[in-house]
Amino acid sequence: MSAAPVIVIGAGGHAKVVIELIREGGEYEVVGVLDADPTRREVLGAPVVGDDSALPGLRREGIENAFVALGDNRLRLKVGRRAEAAGFFLVNAVSRRAAVSPTARIGAGVAIMAGAVVNADSWIEDFAVLNTNAGIDHDCVLGEASHVGPGSALAGGVKVGRLAFLGVGTLAIPGVSIGEGSVIGAGACVTRDIPAGVLAYGAPAQVIRPLDGAGR
Ligand code: JB3
């Protein structure tokens, strides 16, 4: 059966990894990329065919699948919901070199990179990213459009709030929760609950300051 066409939204570094995952999977063919930068012409040989305003026309041309490959969580969620509203099905990009439990629940528009591990009864919501060599153990929840950075390790029952960002090498002990929109700095070790909307880092992770409405 021939691969179904898919549009990748975003032409940056994250998109490069996603495009390779999609190609590795073989189920979809990247027929075009959309990017806000009009100077972009191609990414890994895939043509940049316009910006997001091209979505309705591409859907009218019969393309049904899209993937949002934008690393910024808020932007990925906004653009993802826009693509859904334009009638696209948001496919997942899951590496063949990832290990995903059969009892895990995976939403739409999810990226699971090479070496990632998703253990029993975990739940990864729409537009979440589980990056390279990151592991989440049993009963974890990755909220909508959250990001778990490369090499992170979440023990059992860790809850990551929607839009939260966990930097590279984040560790989290069993059962802790990380609040909506919070940013956990690289190498942090989360040993107690982190409230929503804050920057935290260190081992053990300490709340450094609140974030503004844009998550900065
Ligand atoms: O750390 C890792 C492993 N990956 C990072 C990832 C999670 O986030 C990566 O290193 C980057 O920090 C980031 O990846 P991303 O989002 O690809 O970043 P960047 O390389 O800056 O590319 C962002 C692209 O999005 C640029 O080409 C922008 O022009 C484009 N862009 C910005 N806004 C947009 C929009 N494209 C579309 N289609 N729509 C927009 O609204």
Residues 203-213: tens digit of each pLDDT: 999 999 999 98
CB-based contact 181:143 (threshold 8 Å) = no
**Domains delineated in the chain:** 4-91 (3.40.50.20), 94-204 (2.160.10.10)
Q: How far is the CA of 56 from the centre of ligand 1 (A)?
A: 22
Confidence of residue 215 (pLDDT cuts 50, 70, 90): confident
Nearest one of 85, 81, 80 to 111, comparing CA atoms: 80
The ligand 1 atom at the shortest distance from the C-alpha of residue 16 is 17
Tell which one of 18, 21, 34, 35 to mutate to probe ligand 1, the residue whose CB is within 8 A of the most ligand atoms: 35
What residues contact 85, with CB distance under 8 A and at least 6 apart? none
Could you give the residue numbers annotated as active site?
138
Q: Which long-range CB contacts under 8 A does 132-135 form with residues at least 24 apart?
A: 132/17
Residue 1 has pLDDT above 80, yes or no: no
pLDDT of residue 2: 85
| The ligand 1 atom nearest the CA atom of 51 | 38
CA distances from residue 138 to 104, 122, 165 in whole angstroms, order as listed: 9, 6, 20
Q: What is the whole-number distance in angstroms between the Cα of residue 156 and the centre of ligand 1?
A: 30
